[in-house]
Amino acid sequence: MKLVSTRLVASDIESMVAFYELVTGYRADWLAPVFAEIVTPGAVVAIGSAETVALFKEGSAEPRANKTAILEFMVSDVDAEFARLKDHVVVVHEPKNLPWGNRTVQFSDPEGTRVALYTPVTEAARQRFSGR
């Protein structure tokens, strides 16, 4: 089994796509007016408009309702990324070191999902991510 993407359901797909293009530096592939994918080297962020929910099961997903997931992107320099993005996004917390060896910053996307950028800073963390 292979996890190939994370899909977000958006009430405003244009602002969500623009946010993830800004954060990742990658352009979205619009596969339909109601669905786009941002393909990065390690993951795909898929964004579907609220209208796409009915294609699966009405009411099975809801925009702006996420309180559990954090999308995480590994970057080479979290402090540089923070400096680049801080004036353009909602900052949840500024860069800080975490007990498991990552330096991280968190933002909120336009619909409330948390997005973390991190850099492994300890030798153990760098080893853990070397093969990923």
pLDDT digits (tens, 9 = 90+) for 78-91: 999 999 999 999 99
Residues 127 and 71 in one domain: yes
Which whole-number Å values give the CA distances from 66 to 29, 69, 86, in the listed order? 24, 7, 22
Residues 2 and 48 in one domain: yes
Residues 87 and 43 in one domain: no
Which positions ≥6 away from 17 have C-beta within 8 Å?
28, 30, 36, 38, 47
For CA atoms 109, 105, 6, 68, the dihedral sign is: negative
pLDDT for 54 equals: 87
Structural domain harbouring 53: 1-64
Residues 1 and 60 in one domain: yes
pLDDT for 2 equals: 85
pLDDT for 102 equals: 98
CA distance linking residue 110 with residue 125, whole number of Å? 30
pLDDT for 56 equals: 87
pLDDT for 107 equals: 97
Q: 17 pLDDT exceeds 90?
A: yes
Residues 41 and 74 in one domain: no
- CB atoms closer than 10 angstroms to residue 36: 23
Residues 98 and 58 in one domain: no
- CB atoms closer than 10 angstroms to residue 106: 20
pLDDT for 39 equals: 97
Residues 71 and 117 in one domain: yes
For the chain, the domain total comes to 2
Residues 76 and 25 in one domain: no
CATH at 36: 3.10.180.10
pLDDT digits (tens, 9 = 90+) for 24-77: 999 999 999 999 999 999 889 999 999 999 888 888 889 999 889 999 999 999
Domain end among 11, 37, 64: 64
Residues 50 and 97 in one domain: no
Residues 42 and 81 in one domain: no
Across residues 101-119, what is the average pLDDT? 97
